[in-house]
Amino acid sequence: MIEDTLLETMDKMEKAVEHTRSQFSTVRTGRATPSLVDRLTIEYYGAPVPLQQLASISVPEARQLLIKPHDRSTLEAIEKAIRESDLGVNPNNDGISIRISLPQLTEDRRKEYVKVAKTMAEDGKITLRNLRRDARKSMEAEEKDGDVSEDELDRAEKELDKVTSEHVEQIDTALDNKEQELLEV
């Protein structure tokens, strides 16, 4: 039973680390990537639809995104969503596609993005700690029920702590990489 709890918790921790890494990709650096607009939703016939389903997104230059809608009637809605987003960019609509030119980041803006990335990393670590706490409660409940000995519980808790610290290190490493990427001029 404890093995199952540990395996399930490890799987959830892996997913939490991957989620944190994917969150990092939404933080803008000096380069254009399609992931910058991944979380944008467009109002399409009264329903919110992810941008990836309405258009193809490419990177023709290092600091430029090109968005080609599959249906030209969505151009204005996509442009509006980009303008209202927190990207801080002004889209150029040529009637066929939308070009987004990303300006060079200022040092203040870079530091601000580092703070955002640190907040995302801390949220990921909080998720890991919550998973560890839940697993501990589950294992302690098994011990109270008499399914597990005290020695087995101690061993499992040490393993759980080791796994948790490994996943926290993974988040820290990803954060360090993102910080270097953001502060790179």
pLDDT in tens, 103-154: 777 888 888 888 989 999 999 999 999 999 999 999 888 888 888 888 888 9
DSSP 111-172: HHHHHHHHHHHHHHHHHHHHHHHHHHHHHHHHHHTTSS-HHHHHHHHHHHHHHHHHHHHHHH
Q: Parallel, antiparallel, or unpaired: how do β-strands 64-69 and 92-93 relate?
A: unpaired
Residue 93 phi/psi, 5-degree rounding, is -100, 120
The pLDDT score that the predictor gives to residue 185 is: 64
Domains of the chain: 2-25+106-183 (1.10.132.20), 34-101 (3.30.1360.40)
pLDDT in tens, 69-88: 998 888 999 998 888 887 77
Distance from the Cα of residue 90 to its chain's centroid: 24
pLDDT in tens, 6-35: 999 999 999 999 999 988 887 777 677 888
What type of residue is 123? D
What type of residue is 104? Q
What's the pTM value of the predicted model, to 2 decimals?
A: 0.71
